[in-house]
Amino acid sequence: MARRRASLGLFGVFGRSEDLRTLDQALRSAGLHPALIPDAVKLTVLNVLKDARGEEPSAQDYRETALLVAYCALGREVFDEANGVLAVSTAEHRIEAALEAGEGFDATLILLALHARIIHPGVKECFQLESV
C-alpha cells in the first residue's frame, strides 16, 4: 500500500495536509508555536510517527510526539510552564529511556531535534547530547 504523504500545499493553493495541520495543533497545545519548527523537520517527524504508529496515528500519538519535540525545543523551564511538572517528568523519563536503549521512536525524535538544531541548549547539556 502506498504511503499517503504529508503536503505543504502548492503555492498556497491546496493548503496543508490534514496530518501536518494535526501535528501543528499538537505542537501548539504542547506550548510550542509550530512556526518555530521548520516544515522539513515537521515532515520528517510525521514520517517517523507513521513508521512507528501506522498510517493513521491516533490523536494521542500526535500528542505524545508533540510533547517530546516541544520539550526538546523549549527546554525544561518553558515546557514546565506550558505543560506542568508531570509532563516534564514524563518527557525526561522518555529521553533517559531512549538514550539507554539507543534506538526507537523517541531516540529518533531526539536525534532529529539534535541534528535539525532545534534542541534547547539546556536539554543538550542536561542529557549530554552531542552531534558529530
For 45, what's the count of Cα atoms within 13 Å in the CB-facing half-sphere? 33
Mean pLDDT, the chain, whole residue set: 91
CA 60/CA 49 separation, integer angstroms: 12
Average pLDDT over residues 7-35: 83
Q: Provide the pLDDT for residue 107.
A: 97
What's the pLDDT band for 6 if we cut at 50, 70, 90? Answer: low
Give me the DSSP letters along the chain: -PPPPP---STTSS---HHHHHHHHHHHHTT--GGGS-HHHHHHHHHHHHHHH-SS--HHHHHHHHHHHHHHHH-HHHHHHHH-HHHHHHHHHHHHHHHHH--SHHHHHHHHHHHTT-S-HHHHHHTT----
Q: How many CB atoms lie within 10 A of CB 32?
A: 25
Q: Is residue 75 a contact partner of residue 118, using CB atoms and an 8 Å limit? A: no
Q: Is residue 121 a contact partner of residue 128, using CB atoms and an 8 Å limit? A: no
Q: What is the pLDDT of residues 49-99, one digit of tens each?
A: 999 999 999 999 999 999 999 999 999 999 999 999 999 999 999 999 999
What's the pLDDT band for 36 if we cut at 50, 70, 90? Answer: very high
pLDDT above 90 as % of the chain = 85
For residue 131, give Cα distances in angstroms to 4, 9, 50.
31, 32, 25
